[in-house]
Chain A
Amino acid sequence: DAGITQSPRYKITETGRQVTLMCHQTWSHSYMFWYRQDLGHGLRLIYYSAAADITDKGEVPDGYVVSRSKTENFPLTLESATRSQTSVYFCASSVVDSYNSPLHFGNGTRLTVT
């Protein structure tokens, strides 16, 4: 089915471990985004990508790494997870290079760092 898929849906990991959250979209959208959602903060942008091999930092990039070797995939890696990175993570995509394009979101990954 067409859409944007995130995996896993839930993840528990220990402090200091590396963890990768996956995001796959079937629309061939140019833009992809990673947000984290914390209570009382709405969504905050971690990283975004304008196209394959082009990524840039958002509002809260520290502790995260992204890559985009293919248009359809945009994985997010926590190199050494910390408790402050416990959050719900959303991947999103946008069809065109325009600020009036809505974002299409995945279902999110709830990450708990113990």
Chain B
Amino acid sequence: AQTVTQSQPEMSVQEAETVTLSCTYDTSESDYYLFWYKQPPSRQMILVIRQEAYKQQNATENRFSVNFQKAAKSFSLKISDSQLGDAAMYFCALRNPPMDSNYQLIWGAGTKLIIKP
């Protein structure tokens, strides 16, 4: 069974500092997609970044980057120059190639990120 584990229920970081959120997963597939979503207090889920397992280069989106370690099944999110607007719940998610038209995303339990001014 596929699983996604976020071992840090809560993290805090000083504004302008760098923080890394951890995510590990388990899947028997060789090709899959990994996502980080952000959920601010407004409740809306917002895509932060995504990574295809076949791509060795780590994805980057402005201040957000990932450290994708396929052999270790690790997919951490690094946020540089943290801003107050980064405060949110962050969810890691795994999506396998479609089988029987099932496109289910497997979600971690989330990490609450607190930004200290």
> Which of B12-20, B65-73, B79-87, B96-104 lies on the face that meets chain A?
B96-104
Q: Does B44 contact A48, Cβ atoms closer than 8 Å?
A: no
User: Chain B's nearest CB lies how many Å from the CB of A48?
Assistant: 7
Q: What distance in Å separates the Cβ of B89 from its nearest Cβ neighbour in chain A?
A: 10
Q: Which of the residues A50, A56, A94, A108 comes within 8 Å of B44, measured between beta carbons?
A: A108
Q: In the complex, which residues 50-103 of chain A have their Cβ closer than 8 Å to any Cβ of chain B?
A: 50, 56, 58-59, 88, 90, 92, 94, 97, 99-100, 102-103
Contact assessment for B97 and A99 in the assembled complex, using a CB-CB cutoff below 8 Å: yes
B42 near A107: Cβ-Cβ < 8 Å: yes
Is B11 part of the binding interface, using a Cβ–Cβ cutoff of 8 Å? no
CB distance from B27 to the nearest CB of A (A): 12
The distance in angstroms between the C-alpha atoms of A105 and B35, with both chains bound, is 14
Chain B residues with CB under 8 A of A90: 45
Per-residue A-contact encoding for B43-61, CB less than 8 Å = 1, 0 else:
1111100101000000000
**Count of B residues near A, CB < 8 Å?**
27
Residue of A nearest to B103 (CB): A99
| Bound Cα distance A50, B98 (Å) | 12
A102 to B47, CA, bound (A): 7
In the bound complex, residues from chain A placing their C-beta under 8 Å from that of B43 are 88, 107-108, 110
Closest residue of A by beta carbon distance from B46 = A105
Q: Which of A14-48 contact B (CB under 8 A)?
A: 31, 40-45, 48
